[in-house]
Chain A
Amino acid sequence: MKSSRFDVTVLTLGFAFLYIPIIILIVYSFNASRLVTVWGGFSLHWYTAMWSNQGLMDAAWVTARVGVLSATLGTILGTLAALSLTRFTRFPGRMLFSGMIYAPLVMPEVITGLSMLLLFVALNVDRGFWTVTIAHTTFTMCYVAIVVQSRLLTFDRSLEEAALDLGCPPVKTFFKITLPLIFPAVIAGWMLAFTLSLDDLVIASFNTGPGATTLPIKIYSQVRLGVTPEINAICTILIALVTVGVICASLSTKRAEVKRIRDEHLAVRGAT
């Protein structure tokens, strides 16, 4: 089908709406003036100010550790959950299981955050780094499960079956055949989990404790006091990190895809 002028207009306006606020935010992080509406010239002042803000740096370090740990745990659990959902069509409580995977995706964060906190209080666990990590693991694993599940549903099972038929133990088959094949989805899942953890304010606010202030909590408390270019600077760095990460991931997936297609061609040629 041909794109009409209407389609082009709609997409231009839509993407302008999505990107202009982010671009403005980035541009004003280089503003020498403190006022949003006054352009005082190019300056890296806010980046140096941010760098020497100890509270902000501590929060960034906590967030990075929570993010890496919860994304890794969430990816392992989410991949297992995806395997259970796609490979085992029947086990007791499967309905409840798939419900527990889908519900956290849409559950309002205030409910998830509050209920988790009450669990930790009931179990008499001190709130802090670990409670935030566990809370993040729980909601990110569901996103990972969805991403990995969609890959598992489309992939060719015959390779796996061939390995099993030739006597390869199932665990080894998983690590030698299945995991390499679903690996791009697992990586995508990990990145999604990491950014979700990096991004979360509400669930972290409920479950945090002394010494475990994450970056969003810090940013939120500063934003409530007013707009400062220092926040723009840290936001710009976060946006840059995420953009570079996403682009690298998509390039490596594409390269893996190209390599796979080439290998398949070679295999076919070799066979004939």
Chain B
Amino acid sequence: MASVAETNPPAANAGGPSWTRWLVVVVPYVWLLLFFVAPFLIILKISLSDTAIAMPPYLPTFDGFGEIGDSLSQLDFENYIFLTDDPLYIMSYLSSLRIAAISTLLLLLIGYPMALAMARAPSSIRPTLVMLVILPFWTSFLIRVYAWIGILKPDGLLTLLLQTIGLMGPDQQVQIFRTDTAVFIGIVYSYLPFMVLPLYAALEKMDNTLLEAASDLGCPPWKAFWKITFPLSLPGVIAGSMICFIPITGEFVIPDLLGGADTLMIGKTLWTEFFGNRDWPLASAVAVILLIMLVVPIAIFQNQQKKVV
């Protein structure tokens, strides 16, 4: 395979007439530029605009590229100054980062033993185990969060279970629903497949002879784990952590449905700013700052993906 690639550089034999080759690249490229990159430039611009009671609720509107110079003079950092003045926003950002960090750690603690057990399982049942991890991911996110409401509500199934086995009196109720604990449960539940799969991919590739050599030389299993298994699985740990940490920071559905009024998360704040207060410029500023916070984790993730490919 490698020798084929050396004698035939991929670009030489893959396209044919230059226009077809050109089309293969240009169509998805232009689509992504228009619908993924351009929106970010617009969000940046609107975050610097003033709010207006109109449809759309912001000023100035976009009048074509010729007038960019004119409209630039009307832009200001008012929304960003407002964000730094109101402790609600700073608290939301910090609380999102805290919840995302704790959740990622919990996911690692639960996901790692699962991935390790899967990688050590007989190779005949491994595809089935992978399938079992993927299947919940195919069922709706919203449905899985919804399922937990019925379990965690004060008059829900967890209360019923604890009362039935006698751990709780008939007049007591579980007070988890609408707290941060419920948010952690929801996040860990929803993101577990995203953590287990990259970890499993890293652990499954591992050369077991290394561990056998270590045990032959008298290394105890726990020490072999820390000296060999864990360091070798580090790319999976980083990939899994980033795949979970980044979207959790901006998570909206879980804190909204399972969290309480005091559960501050920036995704929820942005949603309220946009749908509740109809302050589009402020919502844009919230999004821009969230994006800036996530630049470093996203860069780590991209770098990791490039190495895998």
Contacts and interface: CB of A to CB of B under 8 A. Distances in A.
A182 interface: no
Contact of B150 (A25, A84, A171): A25
Interface string B142-154: 1110111111010
A178 B1 CA distance: 17
Interface residues of A, number: 96
B252 A202 contact: yes
Contacts of A58: none
A81 B28 contact: yes
Contacts of B135: 243, 246
A110 B33 CA distance: 19
A37 B160 contact: yes
A199 B141 contact: yes
A118 B10 contact: no
A203 to B, nearest CB: 11
B24 A219 contact: no
B157 A10 contact: no
A60 B146 CA distance: 18
Interface residues on B, range: 35 or more
A60 to B, nearest CB: 13
Main secondary structure of the interface of B (DSSP, over half): helix
Contacts, number: 272
A149 B308 CA distance: 12
Interface in A16-36: 17-19, 21-22, 24-25, 28, 35-36
17 contacts: A4-B120, A14-B113, A24-B147, A87-B14, A89-B10, A102-B302, A102-B305, A103-B298, A108-B251, A111-B287, A114-B43, A114-B284, A115-B42, A122-B42, A122-B61, A135-B35, A170-B15
B48 interface: no
Contacts of A21: 144, 147-148, 151, 189
Interface string B238-265: 0000110011011111000100000000
B31 interface: yes
